[in-house]
Amino acid sequence: MDLSLEGKNVLITGGSRGIGKSIVKAFAAEGARVAFTYRSSTELATALTESIKKQGAEAMCIQGDAADAEVAEASVSQVLSEWETLDILVNNAGITRDNLMLRSTEEDWNAVLDTNLKSVYNYCKAVYRPMMKQRAGRIISMSSVVGVMGNPGQTNYAASKAGIIGLSKSLAKELGRRGITVNVVAPGFVSTEMTKAISKEAQEAMLAAVPLGKAATPDDVANAVLFLASDRAAYITGHVLHIDGGLSM
């Protein structure tokens, strides 16, 4: 399927590992120039960048904390300086600090909300004027099934992911007349290094609630992002695409 991503310029936050890494590789494979941010995994980020370049695609990695507004502005400016336009923004950076609310701390709350939600605000604001000027653009942000359904022990994470949905729907209404779409991908249980650390019993309990009976792969999520970034999704905005095997039905 032709996704019309040849020559497009994309910026992905949190792209050095997990779902973010799969998204980076997927865009590069479809012919896009790919920039991605990372906070601390310099070795992984450098290796991913070199791997993409060896395959003949253009790539750059940018270190910085996505929760920092100045970092967001600088990241967008760097992409525009190198490639002149920024066609696609994927907000993927995220963390968890799970605990029952009774045992969680204000520090945990602030860390999760800053990384997961404030970073989306930072990067959306940073691309707002450039995309308005272009009269074109795609913004895709990663939420979660937890932001729709809730989950015990994840009040901070659920709040951040639900906030992304509200932010994106509002922004879609602001930017629609300028040819910019704003959408959300909400994964369910995805097989990553993070989820592999969960006990076998807990994984089995999660999968028992999934109608398809299996976890998603990072590539399943990346394919959804590719679609929303493509011309095939030109008339879709303000939408939440669930990649959860039916879990949120």
pLDDT in tens, 10-47: 999 999 999 999 999 999 999 999 999 999 999 999 99
How, if at all, do strands 88-91 and 9-12 pair?
parallel
Residues identified as active-site: 157
Distance between CA atoms of 208 and 101, rounded to whole angstroms? 26
pLDDT band at residue 208 under the 50/70/90 scheme: very high
* Percentage of the chain lying above the pLDDT 90 cut: 91
The label of the residue with tokens 């896009």 reads: 32
Q: How many CB atoms are located within 10 Å of the residue 159 CB?
A: 17
Query: Residue 185 has what pLDDT?
Result: 98
User: Is 9-190+219-242 a domain of CATH 3.40.50.720?
Assistant: yes
Cβ-based neighbours of 70, under 8 Å, separated by 6 or more: none
Distance between CA atoms of 147 and 187, rounded to whole angstroms? 10
The stretch 147-174 carries a mean pLDDT of 97
Answer whether 89's CB lies under 8 Å from 137's CB: yes
Distance between CA atoms of 15 and 90, rounded to whole angstroms? 10
Q: How far is CA 11 from CA 116, 168, 191, 244, 249, in A?
A: 16, 17, 24, 25, 31
Q: Which residues pair with 246 in a beta bridge?
A: none
Distance between CA atoms of 89 and 86, rounded to whole angstroms? 8
Average pLDDT, the chain: 95
Q: What is the pTM of this model?
A: 0.96
Q: Give tens-digit pLDDT for 39-71.
A: 999 999 999 999 999 999 999 999 999 999 999
Residue 226 reports pLDDT greater than 80: yes
Distance between CA atoms of 119 and 142, rounded to whole angstroms? 11
What count of Cα atoms within 13 Å lies in the side-chain half-sphere of residue 186? 28
| 22 phi and psi angles, rounded to 5 deg | -65, -35
Residue 1 reports pLDDT greater than 60: no
Q: How many CB atoms are located within 10 Å of the residue 135 CB?
A: 10
Rg value, the chain, Cα: 17
pLDDT band at residue 179 under the 50/70/90 scheme: very high
Q: How far is CA 162 from CA 102, 152, 242, in A?
A: 21, 15, 13
Distance between CA atoms of 243 and 145, rounded to whole angstroms? 8
Q: Where are the domains of the chain?
A: 9-190+219-242
* Percentage of the chain lying above the pLDDT 70 cut: 98
Torsion of CA 61, 35, 93, 68, to 10 degrees: 70
Residue 197 reports pLDDT greater than 90: no
Q: Burial-class residue 151 by CB neighbours within 10 Å (0-12, 13-18, 19+).
A: middle
pLDDT band at residue 201 under the 50/70/90 scheme: confident
